[in-house]
């Protein structure tokens, strides 16, 4: 068994299965109709996530059957998620109904031992054991990431590409940490996702639908719990940074809707990909820009896992500033003011002025 086959088999399976799922989706009416919120202009088959799910499950049966017991619980939970997604792809479910099934799926995984048991506090080097609260924190994390990835699935190849970058990062870090189980599971899912991406990148032939975006978000959230339990004192930041794009996009969506006094589940066209398109970027360039942002976050996550606490804090501060500047320039919160940008420009001008006016001392 080599890494090549672990990646290649689900990749080929996904490539073979996706056209079949596409035909089935059209036949049963699992299609996405264009509307004012959506970018596409023609009816598109969805439910492509089923191809990712089948390719991943077969790959895990072939290559991960010797891994630890938590995998069985993850597969059971993901089955609940995919069935929920399929139903929603055929006939849209209410947000509350989907949330209930997401909580059930998360509870299944947590009951199998896949849970956040403690949080480390940098600087003070303290470990806070969650005890009974670990159930609640773990379920909130899984459900939160599941929905975060679902929210960014608005452009051809966006969710699949962002997931592939996150999975690649988790795979690299699991190798660094010597976590073979997580490496195998991650590589199988990565192969299946990239196989689907051949049909989903712009111009897409099929959408992954909720069966795909919910499934990938669910699997990524559980993998992040499995993979980053004991790295460093900043370990709890690693999965947040890796999944930075969907997490921050979701956070800003909640803030935006709260400011506008709208329900959290209310749809809008102010997500990151919408804002970039409004700025004049093409569909393809918008997706590639978000890929680039995600790669930057992923590189930062790898660096964070190998550095000291104080350097990690500096890196996180820079990342937060980068995010805030991006928020101001894209208008993701609907604001026209740019206080952070003005502050940084002001500080830069002040420092430059000092350097220019500094008297030269001749010897």
Q: Tens digits of per-residue pLDDT, 88-104?
A: 999 989 889 999 999 99
Model pLDDT for residues 94-147, shown as the tens digit of each residue = 889 999 999 999 999 999 888 887 776 655 556 777 788 889 988 998 998 898
Q: What pLDDT, on a 0 to 100 scale, did the predictor assign at position 234?
A: 43
155, 161, 159: which is closest to 204 by C-alpha? Answer: 155
pLDDT beyond 80 at 363: no
278 known ligand binder = no
The span from the CA of 228 to the CA of 7, in Å, is 22
What is the separation, in whole angstroms, between the first and last Cα of the chain? Answer: 71
The whole-chain average pLDDT of the chain stands at 82
Model pLDDT for residues 293-317, shown as the tens digit of each residue = 889 888 888 887 777 767 877 887 8
Q: In this prediction, what percent of the chain has a pLDDT beyond 90? A: 32
Angle at which helices 339-357 and 309-330 pack, to 10 degrees?
110
Model pLDDT for residues 145-165, shown as the tens digit of each residue = 898 888 787 788 888 999 999
Contact 42, 34 (CB under 8 A): yes
Q: Over range 58-80, report the average pLDDT.
A: 83
The span from the CA of 242 to the CA of 109, in Å, is 21
pLDDT beyond 90 at 195: yes
User: And the tokens for 220?
Assistant: 């990524």
Give the position of tokens 């420092």: 351
The span from the CA of 244 to the CA of 148, in Å, is 10
Helix (H, G, I), strand (E, B) or coil at 203: coil
Four-point Cα dihedral 149, 153, 154, 155, nearest 10:
120
Q: What pLDDT, on a 0 to 100 scale, did the predictor assign at position 344?
A: 66
Q: What pLDDT, on a 0 to 100 scale, did the predictor assign at position 147?
A: 87
**Lowest mean pLDDT segment, chosen from 251-265, 310-324, 328-342:** 328-342
Which one is predicted more confidently, 177 or 266? 177
The span from the CA of 201 to the CA of 69, in Å, is 35
Residue 164 Cα distances to 32, 71, 105, 181, angstroms: 23, 20, 22, 18
Q: Over range 307-336, report the average pLDDT.
A: 76
According to DSSP, residue 117 is labeled -
Helix (H, G, I), strand (E, B) or coil at 260: coil
Contact 217, 148 (CB under 8 A): yes
Where does the chain show beta strands of DSSP type E?
Answer: 31-32, 44-45, 118-121, 126-129
Model pLDDT for residues 222-255, shown as the tens digit of each residue = 888 886 654 333 455 667 777 777 788 878 878 8
Residue 88 Cα distances to 31, 144, 198, angstroms: 11, 18, 24
Q: What pLDDT, on a 0 to 100 scale, did the predictor assign at position 102?
A: 96
The span from the CA of 236 to the CA of 323, in Å, is 19
Q: In this prediction, what percent of the chain has a pLDDT beyond 70? A: 80
CB-based contacts of 341, cutoff 8 Å, min separation 6: 325, 328, 329
Q: What one-character-per-residue DSSP string does 265-279 give?
A: T---S-SHHHHHHHT
Q: What pLDDT, on a 0 to 100 scale, did the predictor assign at position 318?
A: 85
Which one is predicted more confidently, 232 or 186? 186
Exposed e or buried b for every residue in 196-206, given b needs 16+ CB within 10 A? bbebbbbebeb
pLDDT beyond 60 at 281: yes
Residue 45 backbone dihedrals phi, psi, to 5 degrees: -70, 145
The residue count for the chain: 363
User: And the tokens for 269?
Assistant: 């066209």
Contact 319, 293 (CB under 8 A): no
147 known ligand binder = no
Q: What pLDDT, on a 0 to 100 scale, did the predictor assign at position 232?
A: 38
């Amino acid at each position: 068994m080599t890494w090549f086959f672990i990646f290649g088999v689900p990749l080929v399976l996904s490539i073979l299965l996706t056209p079949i799922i596409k035909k089935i989706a059209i036949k049963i009416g699992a299609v996405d109709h264009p509307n004012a919120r959506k970018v596409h202009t023609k009816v598109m088959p969805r439910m492509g996530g089923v191809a990712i799910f089948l390719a991943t499950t077969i790959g895990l049966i072939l290559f991960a059957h010797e891994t630890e017991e938590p995998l069985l619980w993850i597969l059971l939970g993901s089955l609940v998620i995919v069935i929920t997604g399929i139903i929603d792809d055929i006939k849209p479910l209410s947000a509350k109904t989907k949330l209930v099934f997401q909580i059930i799926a998360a509870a299944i995984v947590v009951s199998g031992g896949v849970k956040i048991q403690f949080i480390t506090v940098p600087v003070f080097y303290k470990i806070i054991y969650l005890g009974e609260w670990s159930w609640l924190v773990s379920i909130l994390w899984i459900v939160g990431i599941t929905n975060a990835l679902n929210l960014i699935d608005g452009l051809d190849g966006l969710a699949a590409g962002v997931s592939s970058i996150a999975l690649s990062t988790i795979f690299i870090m699991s190798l660094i940490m010597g976590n073979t189980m997580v490496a195998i599971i991650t590589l199988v899912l990565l192969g299946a996702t990239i196989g689907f991406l051949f049909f989903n990148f712009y111009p897409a032939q099929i959408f992954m639908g909720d069966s795909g975006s919910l499934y990938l978000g669910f699997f990524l959230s559980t993998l992040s719990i499995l993979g980053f339990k004991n790295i460093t004192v900043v370990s709890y930041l690693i999965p947040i940074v890796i999944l930075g794009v969907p997490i921050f996009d979701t956070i800003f969506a909640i803030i935006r809707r709260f400011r506008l006094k709208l329900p959290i589940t209310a749809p809008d066209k102010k997500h990151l990909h919408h804002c970039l398109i409004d700025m004049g970027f093409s569909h393809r360039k918008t997706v590639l820009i978000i890929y680039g942002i995600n790669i930057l976050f992923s590189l930062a996550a790898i660096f964070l896992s190998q550095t000291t606490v104080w350097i990690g804090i500096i890196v996180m501060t820079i990342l937060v500033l980068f995010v805030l500047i991006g928020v101001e320039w894209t208008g993701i919160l609907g604001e026209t003011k740019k206080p952070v940008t003005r502050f940084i420009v002001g500080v830069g001008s002040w420092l430059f002025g000092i350097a220019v006016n500094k008297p030269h001392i001749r010897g």
